[in-house]
Chain A
């Protein structure tokens, strides 16, 4: 979509006005600074997703829209999670982070902050693996998606 003030609120407003769900939404400018790319995750029947697509297309600032489920695609989400890490837990959490191919990016004597990327379900799995009471804070970006191989979304 056009990288213009208000474009994001048009998208968000459309979803609330028509009663669609936004599961997650991630957006940032692209290599062409006049354009932003948004990955939006929604849940609905085929009919609803078709309507969502058509309604989004009607927004003047939306340049192009694809449904990544129409082909094979990759999606990734970034999570930063702060966990309590004291005593024996420190080693255990470090090992768990390695298994999930995350990085510890901030350390204090009581906590680790871990950076983790993957599909949303992988991030969920990590949180389940860590003892719930150890999780102090999480922040997630929502999914970003891209088509596989030669499937390219370009204006």
Chain B
């Protein structure tokens, strides 16, 4: 007779079978048996965070930068509610993740027990799927399903809620090698006829545009995207989530589009005649007002793995449901076999138009300023790291400047909360990135408001010796809120001033890190170089930046892409 294992042992064995090397968590009553089993083995490394939100963000950063499933482990009740922000963040950005949560014993469920919440109910709207395991014999299969669902199709977080008594009960352990579910069969291959139609439309384009989103990154298709753009000589723009999917330093890149996208990207998006949307979802921050978007006539090809993303906000002409990698490979094959080429004269005219738009130099800022301009810090960071760092960000102005000024040439280097816009994401995500890439240079671009939302993680960074470089663009305001108040609320800066800030240098030092305060533009580059020389230390760099700086261009809410406010 084979040996029976407890639910707790099974949980850890499942993680081992999945090849999980690193999980992020925080212990508590309901998960004590699981922690006990973690303690007895050394295949799965546990990173102890200081708040469950950070555990999930760290697992998220780990997943985004490594293409593995991120794993977080939290206890019942407040453990779960703290994790919800992280789970919703991962859900909005389609990040593969498994969250294991403890639950009160099955006999206590529904009785308002200590640290009980309806975890499955609370997380239901912000997970791809969730499970409550009431029977230990179903535990291994459920965890297998969780990893399968999280990492296939359009990825997303999956939560497995395990009552404490289930972690104590015993059963035989069998980890299924394969799994099939009658109700879950994500499409991979695109429809051949649709791809052919797309190829024909592409070849007829006179003013083409490629619009590529996070789907390119998630499906590991940046080589294919780059090849497609290259063989066609089409311009390419990336969404906030798609940065790095197409090399930003390539001449065909128009940079990011959308609310704070470049003038050339937004204009080309508005006035193209054939739009190839790849792994992107036409969201409100990208195309602005959909009515205005349709003032111009264009044909749209839309490639996405999620059928519900297609024709959700924008009606498209040629929908292709499938994995971006697969569809692009097929499309490239077809285009290469085709003798016909797009109208080169028309394409040249289109590029001339784009170059005129580029001359507008929409990202210009005052370079001679005596006060540190935040844009300049990012440009210097790009130079000092030679464009080779992993950059995480929090949410706000600094995030937009990072997206605009750090030229991402590789996928999985730009880690930010695009969909949910979660302040506090940056530093914990950077911890996950650093753990997934121990030798990588990891910088977190943040602001003095965002960083304080998960500042406690400086302690985690100390414990695990994570040599992050924190780039704090400190303008003493919630900058993006201040910008909107300036533009749309008559300069009434309601509650957006960050008063009573800590001395970040001393704060960093008290956690055992290096702190730097940089107040002069001339000191920026040297400080960055010095910080990156300290390869084994976390350096918190507090840049005192211009309080009045705004992010341009800007498409105000409800306006169209060609109605940008420019500098």
Contacts and interface: CB of A to CB of B under 8 A. Distances in A.
A57 B124 contact: no
B491 interface: no
22 contacts: A2-B183, A6-B120, A9-B121, A10-B124, A13-B124, A13-B125, A17-B125, A47-B311, A51-B308, A51-B312, A54-B307, A54-B308, A57-B307, A60-B128, A60-B129, A60-B149, A60-B183, A60-B184, A61-B183, A62-B183, A63-B182, A63-B183
Interface in A44-101: 47, 50-51, 54-55, 57-58, 60-63
Question: A-B pairs with the 9 shortest C-beta distances?
Answer: A54-B308, A63-B183, A60-B129, A54-B307, A17-B125, A60-B184, A55-B308, A13-B124, A2-B183
A13 B311 CA distance: 22
B494 interface: no
Given A54-B307, A57-B307, 13 more contacts: A2-B183, A5-B132, A6-B132, A9-B121, A13-B124, A55-B308, A57-B308, A58-B308, A60-B129, A60-B149, A60-B181, A61-B183, A155-B182
Contacts of A55: 308
A60 B148 CA distance: 12
Interface residues of B, number: 17
Given A50-B311, A54-B307, A58-B308, A1 B125 contact: no
Interface string A140-155: 0000000000000001
A6 B184 CA distance: 17
A69 B307 CA distance: 20
Contacts of B149: 60
Contacts of A63: 182-183
B111 to A, nearest CB: 17
A62 to B, nearest CB: 6
B512 to A, nearest CB: 44
B151 to A, nearest CB: 14
B98 to A, nearest CB: 14
B462 to A, nearest CB: 40
A55 B309 CA distance: 9
Contact of A1 (B128, B183, B307, B311): B183
Interface string B511-551: 00000000000000000000000000000000000000000
A50 B311 CA distance: 9
A5 B181 CA distance: 17
B200 interface: no
Contacts of B307: 54, 57
A12 to B, nearest CB: 10
Contacts of B312: 51
Contacts of B128: 60
Nearest to B149: A60
Interface string B303-333: 0001110011000000000000000000000
Interface string B121-133: 1001100110010
Contacts of B120: 6
Nearest to B315: A47
Contacts of A13: 124-125
Nearest to B131: A6
A2 B184 CA distance: 11
Contacts of B306: 58
A26 to B, nearest CB: 20
Contacts of A54: 307-308
Nearest to A155: B182
Contacts of B129: 60
Contacts of A51: 308, 312
A28 B184 CA distance: 21
A63 B185 CA distance: 10
A1 B183 CA distance: 8
Interface in A1-26: 1-2, 5-6, 9-10, 13, 17
B183 A9 contact: no
Interface string B163-206: 00000000000000000011110000000000000000000000
A29 to B, nearest CB: 15
A60 B129 CA distance: 7
Nearest to A6: B120
B173 to A, nearest CB: 23
A60 B157 CA distance: 13
Contacts of B124: 6, 9-10, 13
